[in-house]
């Protein structure tokens, strides 16, 4: 069950086009797309329309990942809400893009329009089905992340392509330097906020073997 965990404190920092990670965290803007569907029928996943909309979502993700450079996609993760009902009636995808324009380009591409037109033509007969999306634009210096002994998901699951054609992961050591603190990871401090928290405070990651 511990397979594929990154056993240390780590964060995300995207390299530039030449593959250099630099010394300034959060030095690029990102756009986040949250898109999903919910089924409110008592039959759960066996309700009318669920199979079709699920297939459309799966295909959209495949198409988007196959054309990631075209739309500026850096990565996408999928989630299922199992808390509300045992029927696992809600699915959600979170995608990280370089720009909001990239999200809009995908939304108006044939890959997404197929599902959009299908939904518009059928949603009235299935009032138990709901769809949604949210878009967030985080300018550089306005985002950060931290993970400890975690699997690779969310921002760490993204990647960027350099001018040399190589794809690079944004996973970086967060046990020292600016990346030790939230303010540092947003390039808003020198990463020293934890130095004077008070008596008894010990940063357990600074002297880790992975640092």
Burial track 142-181 (b if 16+ CB lie within 10 A, e otherwise): ebbbebeeeebebbbbbbbeeeeeeeeebbbbbbebbbbb
Domain identity same for 45 and 111: yes
Domain identity same for 91 and 150: no
Domain identity same for 24 and 39: no
Half-sphere exposure at residue 164, Cβ-oriented, CA atoms within 13 angstroms: 8
Domain identity same for 87 and 42: yes
Q: What is the pLDDT along the chain (211 residues), one digit of tens a residue?
A: 888 899 999 999 999 999 999 889 999 999 999 999 998 888 888 889 989 999 999 999 999 999 999 999 999 999 888 766 665 588 899 999 999 999 999 999 999 999 999 999 998 999 999 999 999 999 999 999 999 999 999 999 999 999 999 999 999 999 988 999 999 999 999 998 888 787 777 778 775 544 3
CATH number at residue 89: 3.30.70.100
What pLDDT does 210 receive?
Answer: 45
* Within-domain flag for 117: yes
Domains in the chain, number: 2
Domain identity same for 131 and 41: yes
Q: Which of 89, 117, 138 is the last residue of a domain?
A: 138
The boundaries of the domain holding residue 117 are 30-138
Domain identity same for 11 and 47: no
In 3D space, the residue among 167, 2, 201 whose CA is nearest the CA of residue 74 turns out to be 167
Domain identity same for 92 and 123: yes
Burial track 38-70 (b if 16+ CB lie within 10 A, e otherwise): bbebeeeeebebbeebeebbeebbebbeeebee
What pLDDT does 86 receive?
Answer: 61
What pLDDT does 84 receive?
Answer: 66
Is residue 9 within 8 Å of residue 3, measured between CB atoms? no
Q: What's the predicted TM-score (pTM) here?
A: 0.89
What pLDDT does 106 receive?
Answer: 96
């Amino acid at each position: 069950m511990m397979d594929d965990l990154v056993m240390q404190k780590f964060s995300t920092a995207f390299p530039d086009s030449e593959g250099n990670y630099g010394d300034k965290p959060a030095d690029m803007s990102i756009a986040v797309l949250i898109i999903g569907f919910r089924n409110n029928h008592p039959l759960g996943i066996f309700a009318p329309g669920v199979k079709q909309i699920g297939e459309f979502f799966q295909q959209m993700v495949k198409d988007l990942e196959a054309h990631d450079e075209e739309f500026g996609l850096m990565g996408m993760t999928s989630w299922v809400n199992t808390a509300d009902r045992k029927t696992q009636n809600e699915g959600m995808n979170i995608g990280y893009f370089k720009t909001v324009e990239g999200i809009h380009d995908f939304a108006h591409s044939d890959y997404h329009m197929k599902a959009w037109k299908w939904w518009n033509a059928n949603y009235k007969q299935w009032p138990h089905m709901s769809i949604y999306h949210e878009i967030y634009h985080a300018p550089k210096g306005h985002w950060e992340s931290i993970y400890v002994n975690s699997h690779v998901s969310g921002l760490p699951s993204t990647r960027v392509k350099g001018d040399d054609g190589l794809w690079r992961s944004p996973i970086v050591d967060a046990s020292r330097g600016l990346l030790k603190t939230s303010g540092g990871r947003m390039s808003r401090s020198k990463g020293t906020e934890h130095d004077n928290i008070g008596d008894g405070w010990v940063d357990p990651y600074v002297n880790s073997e992975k640092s």
